[in-house]
Structure 1
Amino acid sequence: MYPSNKTIIKTLLLTVLLSGCAIPGSHISVDDDESNQSQDNLEAKVNVYPLLPGTIAQFKQKEITSQSNDLLDTEIQQYEYRVGVGDVLNITIWDHPELTIPAGSYRSSAESGNWVHADGTIFYPYIGIVKVQGKTVREVRADITDKLTKFIESPQVDVNLAAFRSQKVYITGEVNKSGVLPVTNIPLTLLDAVNQSGGITDNAAWAEASLTRNGTTEQISLYALMQQGDLTQNRLLREGDILHIPRDDNQKVFVLGEVNDPKMLKIERVGMSLTEALAEVGGINEYQADATGVFVIRSTPDSDDGAMANVYQLDVTEATSLALGTEFDLQPYDIVYVTAAPISRWNRVISTLIPTISGFNDLTEGVNRVRSW
């Protein structure tokens, strides 16, 4: 779940506040219009976690490993297609050609077969109306055989699907050929559907696919399935399923503050670490940055403790500390902020005040000259 615009604005405000609290122990209060509180302590709004050798492991995302999927294997082994409205059945009664409509030279089996009507039935000679909807081919065969025994001794009945038209799944989003795929007597898995759709595009957020079934949506990681071999992400698709693969527009992080080239970065398919993000912007500004104040601000709109964000702090006073940053994976909409050194902030304040002071001095000198006249 991505943060709302309001949450992003609050987090950006928090980023500005952090620019003034790089000194350990400092506190800044902010206004909160929504809660009608004029002063709030920053500590009440965020959870701060230092990234240290002893703590970095708890913030590292769970490693994806290759896994089998015994449940899926069982589903595939037990899979049987069930006839639906619009399907076409091809029914053959051996040694009784008068009951078998030949396809002929000009008509296919799909055109000459037994169409399943809207009420889920077909008509067959002698036995009349036969209910077939929701039944497997074996069940339809047994039913027709049983009914024909009243007219034919030991009938040899063969039933198969000439056309699969009743059940479909939908593939949308960032695949090379989005559209509709039929559900047939061959089990169709999620991975099969992606491959039959031409694979994913370069702009796919393949770690955040969604599968919607009967009004319920679950997140699927195609990255884990296709690149890491985690078969637990695979699913046997059923009638009406919708597989959506979104664009990677949300896969962005913001690197701000005292870095050499502050900008927005796009998270690559395999992810992005804190150290990689800092490298992408040319590293920190060694003359103005406070090396103890490399922060990652992550909004937490659904936090149980009511915190606005989690803040992760990395001290890169020693260059070797950047190795810890390689173990910390960034998430969409993270804000990486490098604070300014205290002396740099003081210089900024002075430089901001100089025009005002100069203007005041010029005005004072002018007044004094008038008075001397």
Structure 2
Amino acid sequence: MPISAESVMVANRSTYRPRTLPAIFAQTAGGGSGLRGAGPTPDPALTARARPEALETRVPPAVSPGPYRIGVGDVVLLATPNPTEATIEQLTGLLAAQNSRQGYTVQDDGAIAVPEVGRVQIGGMTLEEAEAELFQRLVENQIDPTFSLEIAEFNSKKVSIGGAVSTPAVAPITLTPLYLDEALAAAGGVTVRDQDYASVRIYRDGTLYQVPLTQLYARDGLRRIQLVDGDSVFVDTEYELDLAQAYFAEQIQLAQFQQAARVAALNELNAEVSIRRGALEEARQNYLTRLELEGVERDYVYLTGEVRQQSRYALPFDQTASLADALYNTAAGVPTQTGNVREIYVLRGSADPREFASVTAWQLDARNATNLMLATRFELRPNDVIFVAEQPVTRWNRVIQQITPSLFNVVANASD
């Protein structure tokens, strides 16, 4: 029967479920047991300390940190003059209350992600250097470079204040210097009753400095001690400097222990994922090798007649194949010089083995280009045979090629 829209529907009604790839091709190496950690950290050790007759004053050296440099965690605001122009959109951070002010948080790699511009490295830069870098990137991306830049949240540089204060806090370091009296005020002030035996201790870069509370309020220079990133301020009512330093050292060790535990758990998880990934890759490679050596059961369609190469076409996994897929396969194809595109047949036997001689043949007339659309919708089934007839002139040419040697032999015998 000719291949038409109706016959294609009839041919495609036959039940067929394509073979599927093994489940290993859909699995991933994720889904591990997660970070295990190292359990709770030990409780800090606290010891009582007796009061001395006098407290030693140890003032940290003067510092000059220079202009503020943007760090990881800071939130910068990018303001454009036109609030309706969507050249810069919010990606991370906070949306400012003003019209076209967009907030961006500096990520771990020191960059902010600006839409239509990409990631811009501003970590470690001053505000002026960051403005110059953003200006250059906006110009490179042909975006109006009219903008202003400011820091909305200072999260990268901090000073911790604890001990005998109203509210232990973490004070950020901003564009203006942070002094000792300001840090204590940010924590609600000192709450000790007896200032004669209290001191303010500053832990900086592994060294502990001490300012007696009585000296702090008596001398203006001590109140204006400039603090830097990483300083820890502790108001203590005890006198032993070594024990106070041991407290800070203990806190650092606990933090290092927690960090090392997280790193170890992450390495363990990465190792587990790598092992799973290797097992999946090995299983997939073994299957592909078996497939290459024809050790896996496949469904085939056979191409014969006037095709470029008598071959078989493997039906794909997880989907059906059409007559056009097989005809336009690189190993097959119909040579137009010898093949008769008017007579392309699909032969399909009966599914019942007792009806072996029952064969249905569909004919595709490819002279009409619109019939090729039907070929893309005609679904193939296992063991279908695609047969392309030869052109009449091809048949005559082959007959002549077979007769010509015989004529030469007769003429040669007659001349003898």
Structure number with higher strand proportion? 1
TM superposition score normalised by structure 2:
0.37
Q: Which has the larger radius of gyration?
A: 2
TM superposition score normalised by structure 1:
0.41
